[in-house]
Structure 1
Amino acid sequence: MTQRLVSHLRYAALAMPNFDEELEFFTQHWGLTETHRDGDTAYLAAEGSPEPYIVRLRRDDKRIDLVSFGTKDREDLLKLADKLRAEDVQFVHEPRELTQPGGGFGFRVFDGDGRVLEFSTEVTLRESRKIREREPIPVKLSHTVFNSANLNESAQWYVDHLDFTISDSLVLPDGSELMHFLRCNSTHHSIAIAKGPHHSLHHMSFEMRGIEEWMRGAGKILRAGTRMIWGPGRHNAGDNTFAYFLSPAKNTIEYTTELQILDEDTWHPSRLDISQLSTQDQWGTASEMSELIARESFNDIDKGLFVAPPV
């Protein structure tokens, strides 16, 4: 089994001009809890996760501020920093004490496309709770997906520098790659990278307690007047359920559950033909994937590439 220095996904941080509208949606409808506010920056936790927060929202031009990952301890974090430095990865800042809610010790770098990645350890965790049966709120942040104009190069950066592993890939009938699912632990994917016209956020996904809670959550969001752009269904890659919506900032966000846990010693990645309907949706309940549906998640060009966020 691969011994990785990155242990898990922590949170995703986004900026958008309609901060108040986005914050209201995530707290009043999506099911996250605001735990800290610093002016025009809000920190949102999931009741089922011990992470201090799983989403950070900030008022600014629309962009991905950063995606944060954890390491097991300070020793692994410093080893990772040494590795990335030796590989000429560009640092935003060197390892230091962090001042954000939950504190910790960490550093930030730019990935190959210019997105900011944070790695941290010794974070003060919050008191989480078990999500109740039929409670339609997220347990945790499941995964984040990026659009990239350089799909294979973007994915290879995570393989080469962070020791992520490609779990499965989606391909077109001619064999050309459309999406790579990458893992940093036994969960099928913590990130994925999709082929797009530009670099941007494809979607953020939130894990629900189970099928019942996932369906009730999707119904709750529909009743709030938010449009479902694809779903409900069940993917082949990852074997997880999906229901995709557009937030007020026009970011695609997903409720999911039952994302596959792999036996890494025996798992072999598959190349799944997207033209096969069972690849798109095992159940056959979602609309067939089309160019129109795919376009919904192309999103706006990320304005934050190779620009460090102010917080």
Structure 2
Amino acid sequence: MTVTSGAPVDVAVPSPLAEPPLPPPAPQSGEAPSVRAARSPITHLRYVALATENLRSTVAFYEGIWGLYPVASDGDVVFLGAVGSPEPFVIRVRAATERRTDIIGFGARSLAAVDELAATLARDGVRLASEPGVLVTPGGGYGFRFFDPEGRLIEVSAEVADKPYRELEERESVPQRLSHVVLNSTNVAGAMAFYESYLGLRLSDWLEDRMCFLRCSENHHSLAITHAPHIGLNHVSFEMRGLDEYMRGTGRMMRHGHEPLWGPGRHSSGDNVYSYFAAPDDVVVEYTTALEQIPDEDSWVPRVWPATPDYADRWGTAGPGEDLFALWHRTPPDAGLWTPTPI
């Protein structure tokens, strides 16, 4: 086009510095989030329990380069804690004849909340794996186990004793605590409805219609559920002290030959940074920090984020993530579905 004279032509030129726009809000349910939060029995994510054919190498990874430490062991079961977390353990590893996810553990606000949740689930036909009772794992406490609608074994417990912990120092690049867990699902909407209805989790955001982010505290998400060809564990995420410690941890992994499957980068939903790595048995683990906070339940409006590179990788530094997605696609269905763990 040639412009010869007259007024300037108004042509919209996208700025290379422009941020992608915020997504539209998600549809809202009629109940105020603060009401659901007030009656929710769940306070936080406690731990993830894994089973492996390679106990020694798996424990060596988590207590070595990953930065956890052993707090207890009982024969073929090892409990690993995070220096900055009061939780008695954040990862449990059990020797088994096959790779599986044993348990996902949540904290409850009281003994009464544990009993009430167990009674409600049993009344509604949800399969319990154990009745409420005294726990014999590190920290003790009182809890029970049940299966979610897709067969995952869930534990809810209260009055678990804290272990000694401390504030991490500047530049100390080990996990501070467990951040969140993401589950693969063949029915995201159905799984989300279960965790909302029974555990009182609240929707923070959607990634299109394929992934939901659920919270049980001010943290943007402690649980996320994503669409996949089969049911299983997507990844386990660990909170670092800050951005510098997150990058130092990422660099340590790289120097020891563990290239990120995806990252370093920054997500839109949750606003957290990420570096994903392959742990033994192709379990995906993540270093993260700076997760978005939601201090006011009722003013928060869930958003629907596009599943595009600009939103998945706001910094544009993470790379295509092909190795991560290839690993997820080759991972078999979880062998632990609908099967109580022996311990």
* 1:179-216 residue CA offsets vs partner (Å, 9 max, x unmatched): 11111122111111111111111000000000000000
1:274 correspondence with 2:307? yes
1:139 correspondence with 2:176? yes
* 1:111-168 residue CA offsets vs partner (Å, 9 max, x unmatched): 0100000011111110100111001100000001111122222222211221212211
Counterpart position of 2:290: 258
* 1:232-281 residue CA offsets vs partner (Å, 9 max, x unmatched): 01100000000000012211000000111112121111111112x33101
Matches within 5 A, 1:139-178: 139-171=176-208, 177-178=209-210
- How large is the Cα RMSD of the aligned pairs? 1.2
Could you say what secondary structure the match of 1:264 adopts? coil
Counterpart position of 1:303: 335
Where do 5+ consecutive residues of structure 2 fail to align? Answer: 1-33
**Paired AA for residue 308 in structure 1:** P
Please report the TM-score for the alignment, with normalisation by the length of structure 1: 0.95
Query: Could you tell me whether the CA contact under 8 Å between 1:280 and 1:289 is conserved in 2?
Result: no
Give the greater-gyration-radius structure (CA).
2
Counterpart position of 2:50: 14
Distance 1:218 1:63 in 2: 26
**Paired AA for residue 66 in structure 1:** I
User: What's the CA shift for 1:289?
Assistant: 4.8
- How many residues get paired? 304
Moved more, 206-215 or 218-227: 218-227
Counterpart position of 2:318: 286
* 1:30-49 residue CA offsets vs partner (Å, 9 max, x unmatched): 00010111111100000000
Distance 1:224 1:9 in 2: 30
Where do 5+ consecutive residues of structure 1 fail to align? Answer: 172-176
Query: Could you tell me whether the CA contact under 8 Å between 2:261 and 2:321 is conserved in 1?
Result: no
Matches within 5 A, 1:206-225: 206-225=238-257
Matches within 5 A, 1:25-64: 25-60=61-96, 61-64=98-101
Counterpart position of 2:154: 117
Query: Could you tell me whether the CA contact under 8 Å between 2:238 and 2:287 is conserved in 1?
Result: yes
Please report the TM-score for the alignment, with normalisation by the length of structure 2: 0.86
**Paired AA for residue 110 in structure 1:** F
Counterpart position of 1:232: 264
Query: Could you tell me whether the CA contact under 8 Å between 1:229 and 1:293 is conserved in 2?
Result: yes
1:94 correspondence with 2:127? no
**Paired AA for residue 220 in structure 2:** H
Query: Which runs of structure 1 show a deviation greater than 6 angstroms over 4 or more consecutive aligned residues?
Result: none
Query: Could you tell me whether the CA contact under 8 Å between 1:65 and 1:116 is conserved in 2?
Result: yes
**Paired AA for residue 145 in structure 2:** R
1:189 correspondence with 2:221? yes
Distance 2:121 2:168 in 1: 38
User: What's the CA shift for 1:293?
Assistant: 3.6
Could you say what secondary structure the match of 2:298 adopts? coil
Could you say what secondary structure the match of 1:96 adopts? strand
Distance 2:60 2:321 in 1: 30
Distance 1:117 1:242 in 2: 26
Distance 1:248 1:65 in 2: 16
Distance 1:268 1:249 in 2: 38
**Paired AA for residue 284 in structure 1:** G
Could you say what secondary structure the match of 1:297 adopts? helix
Distance 1:270 1:288 in 2: 24
